[in-house]
Structure 1
Amino acid sequence: MTHPLIPSILELATPLAEQLGLEVVEAVFQTSKSPPVLRVDIRNPTDDTSLDDCERMSRALEEQLDVTGLIPNAYVLEISSPGVSQSLTTDRDFSVFKGFSVLVKTSAPHGGKQQWQGRLQGRDEETVYLNQKGKTIKIPRNLVAQVLLDNPE
């Protein structure tokens, strides 16, 4: 269950991240810890997310949280990067990981199978394209449930 402060924290963090050239991926408030931990995952859309990116975001967000008093009691702020997601979802993901080995899971059987493995060739509005031993496999996007990096490094 999402903590009730998360929407307000995201409302505060998202424009700050954008000013720093970053994106907020997720925020989690772990109130079971003492003091509670606010973890905000960020990513740099143009480069690998660096420790410097995390530090800049941490300083900016901490200052704003202090000014607004959004979290009234003591807490620990953690800014981190989620790293490479195993699941490909955005057009950018499909472009960046073109040629990588992927596993495509379908919601219903396609060609008698619900799992396809191959090298990602890309996708368009209608289809996800895989290369399997030199042969192009076309999987309708409306059947694709998930595309995962196979053995991400």
Structure 2
Amino acid sequence: MAHPLIPQLETLARPLATQLGYELVQMVFHTNQHPPILRVDIRPLDPQQETSHADCEAMSQALEAELDRVDIIPGQYVLEISSPGLGNLLSSDRDFTVFKGFVVEVTLDPPHKGKALWSGHLLGRDEENVMLSLKGRRVQLPRASVQQVALSEAETE
């Protein structure tokens, strides 16, 4: 479950990232650390570019200034800006475009048609559904029930 400050923090960080030419991929607040760690993953809007150390530094300076200005995080914390790397979880619109056609596993809660885990070729997603191809048959899974979409290690079709 996301920390309750994450929506406010994303509202602050997303426009800054866009202004600097980055996409805000993910934001996590690890409050079980001492001091707590606010981790922000970014990547360039240009899909041909990799996230550099200079990109992380630019975003860190801009976000740090904005967080100091609004002062919504109580106490001390560490701000970490990094690249999302090549994880297997899909989260952004860009991920769903780049990995279209790849085999994915979709975890649902509550289950859809009695199944909590669906595996198939990714067709995409819209506001309401994640679409898969299962042996050539199109299946629409309710996005509100999707807990995660992960690249699969195995071929299913």
TM-score by length of 1: 0.64
- Please state whether the residue corresponding to 1:26 is helix, strand or coil: strand
Larger Rg: 1
Aligned partners of 1:6 and 1:29 also within 8 Å: no
List runs of 5+ in structure 2 lacking aligned partners: none
When residues 92 and 114 of structure 1 are mapped into structure 2, their CA distance, relative to the original with a 3 A threshold, is: same
Distance 1:2 1:116 in 2: 24
When residues 95 and 72 of structure 1 are mapped into structure 2, their CA distance, relative to the original with a 3 A threshold, is: closer
Q: Do residues 109 (structure 1) and 110 (structure 2) align?
A: no
What is the CA-CA distance between 1:100 and the residue it aligns to?
1.7
- Please state whether the residue corresponding to 1:49 is helix, strand or coil: coil
Q: Do residues 148 (structure 1) and 123 (structure 2) align?
A: no
Provide the aligned C-alpha RMSD in A.
3.8
Distance 2:120 2:5 in 1: 42
Aligned partners of 1:26 and 1:42 also within 8 Å: no
How many residues align? The count is 145
Distance 2:38 2:131 in 1: 37
Distance 1:90 1:8 in 2: 18
The aligned residue for residue 44 of structure 1 is: 44
